[in-house]
């Protein structure tokens, strides 16, 4: 029997949720506000919150100094390509673990997830040498492969969880109707798991978009994404907070917009199968 929740408890939970949300969002808000300040106002003490002279000068300087669209296009290709490639590989893998289980399935899943616990710097040197040997250094193809491999365990785990919520009898019925393995996965399983697949894609695009370690160490100029674009404003000559904030705002704006418009789909996918 469901527990009754008092009106005061609902109000308290709402206030608490908004408080936590604003606390999490505040650093982003402060970065956006700082991008519209002058350098003097950006380092003013005490800090200036809203009462300052708004200016677009920082954005003009950033755009003049850097080719923002090139960095943006690299980020789109790397994030989208790695996520798409990861989903193509993960769907059959998650299907086999969900519907052809073995005693080692959980061990395999745990081993895959344990690779995320390995410090990235521990494998940087061998991967760097491999990239030099294969000519993949400072290339979008190389970054797509590396970031796909980094996020593949998460993609498999998420898809496995969603596929487990789909009744196996439906797939058995498809096989009895003559569906091949490819048709079973492509035309029966995938459409039923669209919410889960969509949330997996969205989450991994965000992870790939924000990846900084590999993009900074495996790129120089040609394939540099927006993470390298931001890092270029960390100057030893001085701390340019306003310009750095403008560059950061330009880098996070696309993913913030994507997350805002897709939040319902993301929440729906993350809660897929939670209520029976």
Domain boundary assignment for the chain: 66-232
Residue 238's pLDDT is what? 54
Average pLDDT over residues 4-29: 87
Q: Three-state DSSP class for 223?
A: coil
Per-residue burial over 39-52, b = 16 or more CB atoms within 10 Å of its CB, e = otherwise: bebbeeeeebeeeb
Q: Is the pLDDT of residue 237 over 70?
A: no
Please tell me the distance from the alpha carbon of residue 193 to that of residue 179, in angstroms, as a whole number. Answer: 18
Give tens-digit pLDDT for 119-173: 888 888 899 999 999 989 899 999 999 999 999 998 998 899 888 888 888 888 8
CATH topology classification for 66-232: MetI-like fold (1.10.3720)
pLDDT band with cut points at 50, 70 and 90 for residue 272: low
Give tens-digit pLDDT for 21-58: 899 989 999 999 999 998 888 888 888 888 888 889 98
How is residue 74 written in tokens? Answer: 């690299």
Residue 145's pLDDT is what? 94
- How far apart, in Å, are the Cα atoms of 192 and each of 64, 66, 195? 48, 44, 8
Q: Which of 215, 223, 202 minimizes the C-alpha distance to 155? A: 202
pLDDT band with cut points at 50, 70 and 90 for residue 88: very high
Average pLDDT over residues 14-26: 91
**Lowest-confidence segment of 62-66, 108-112, 178-182, 233-237 by average pLDDT:** 233-237
Residue 184's pLDDT is what? 83
- Residue recorded with tokens 């289980």: 101
Average pLDDT over residues 252-259: 86
pTM given for the model:
0.84
Give the chain's length.
276
Percent of the chain's residues with pLDDT above 70: 91
Please tell me the distance from the alpha carbon of residue 210 to that of residue 138, in angstroms, as a whole number. Answer: 18
Residue pair 60/80 in contact by the 8 Å Cβ criterion: no
């Amino acid at each position: 029997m469901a527990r009754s929740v008092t009106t005061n408890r609902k109000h308290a939970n709402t206030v608490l949720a908004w408080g936590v949300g604003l606390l999490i969002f505040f650093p982003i808000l402060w970065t956006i506000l700082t991008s519209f300040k002058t350098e003097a106002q950006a380092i003013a003490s005490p800090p200036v919150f809203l009462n300052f002279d708004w200016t677009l000068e920082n954005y003009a300087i950033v755009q003049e100094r850097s080719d923002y669209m090139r960095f943006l296009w690299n980020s789109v290709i790397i994030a989208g390509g790695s996520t798409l490639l990861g989903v193509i590989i993960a769907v059959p893998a998650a299907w086999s673990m969900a519907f052809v289980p073995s005693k080692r399935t959980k061990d395999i899943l745990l081993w895959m997830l344990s690779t995320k616990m390995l410090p990235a710097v521990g494998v940087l040197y061998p991967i760097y040498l491999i990239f030099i040997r294969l000519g993949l250094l400072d290339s979008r193809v190389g970054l797509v492969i590396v970031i796909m491999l980094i996020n593949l365990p998460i993609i498999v785990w998420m898809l496995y969880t969603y596929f487990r919520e789909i009744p196996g009898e439906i797939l058995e019925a498809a096989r009895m109707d003559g569906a091949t393995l490819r048709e079973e996965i492509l035309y029966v399983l995938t459409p039923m798991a669209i919410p889960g697949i969509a949330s997996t894609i969205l989450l991994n695009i965000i992870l790939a978009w924000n990846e900084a370690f590999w993009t900074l160490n495996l790129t120089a100029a040609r394939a540099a994404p927006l993470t390298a674009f931001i890092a270029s404003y960390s100057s030893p000559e001085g701390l340019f907070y306003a310009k750095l904030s403008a560059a950061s705002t330009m880098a996070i704006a696309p993913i913030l917009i994507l997350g805002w418009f897709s939040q319902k789909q993301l929440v729906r996918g993350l809660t897929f199968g939670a209520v029976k």
